[in-house]
Structure 1
């Protein structure tokens, strides 16, 4: 698994950072949103004013540690990117890509 982003989290639960892949190099925010049903995302991912993804709050089976499961998409990508935003050292959060 490769790290494709680094984020910080503010007191309102908004993540701010950057996403870098071979086709993306953007400053991004991940904002909590109100859900209108059980399958709706808990978060929306934005590059500027453009929505590029959604996220769902999950918990690790073994430890119970919360993380965000993200789906990112952009017309420049051949298919969506699935990633997890996990807490790293201290206040840093790492965006880890998976296939």
Structure 2
């Protein structure tokens, strides 16, 4: 779901983000100058109520596993937000970006699973899940720590 845009105007990357509960009418991207290969590519800045630019996020370069397309991924975060807002930014022809809300691949509410890929965009292993299986090779119950009475009907 697209939630904003960044445009390149006079070599300045500025734009906005808006969702049902978040309205950032003026944001900007500032290039990060670093020799560290793990450093972000951009800092995300926003105007605060005093009209000063403050950092509210960072973006790293990422690549689509399916197409190899290069995009930016990171989080928008601020103490005023209930939780970080994961975003992905995709390049457009004018040198700017379309901003999309990005759901983590692994659904944390359920501990992962349901056929989802268990790696995030940056390939860090995810923790959690439902644990080891209690089914043996023939479908029998193993490792459950007790006897199961198969005679008890479901009711």
> TM-score when scaled to structure 1?
0.80
Structure with greater strand percent: 1
| RMSD, aligned CA | 2.0
| Contact persistence 2:31–2:42 (CA under 8 A) | yes
Larger radius of gyration: 2
| Shift, 1:36, TM fit | 4.4
Q: Which residue of 2 aligns with 1:15?
A: 13
Q: 1:52 aligns to what SS in structure 2?
A: strand
Which shifted more, 42-51 or 15-24?
15-24
| Contact persistence 1:82–1:98 (CA under 8 A) | yes
> TM-score when scaled to structure 2?
0.54
CA distance in 1, matches of 2:83, 2:101: 13
CA distance in 2, matches of 1:44, 1:82: 14
Partner residue of 2:91 out of 80, 87, 94:
87
Q: 1:25 aligns to what SS in structure 2?
A: strand
Runs of 4+, deviation exceeding 6 Å: none
Q: Which residue of 1 aligns with 2:41?
A: 42
Q: Which has the higher contact order (CA 8 A, sep 6+)?
A: 1
Residue 52 (structure 2) pairs with residue 55 (structure 1) = no
| Shift, 1:10, TM fit | 5.0
Structure 2, unpaired ranges of 5+ = 48-52, 104-155
Q: Alpha carbons of 1:55 and 1:79: their partners in 2 closer, same or farther (altered >3 Å)?
A: same
Q: Alpha carbons of 1:32 and 1:20: their partners in 2 closer, same or farther (altered >3 Å)?
A: same
Q: Alpha carbons of 1:45 and 1:56: their partners in 2 closer, same or farther (altered >3 Å)?
A: same
Which shifted more, 74-83 or 21-30?
21-30
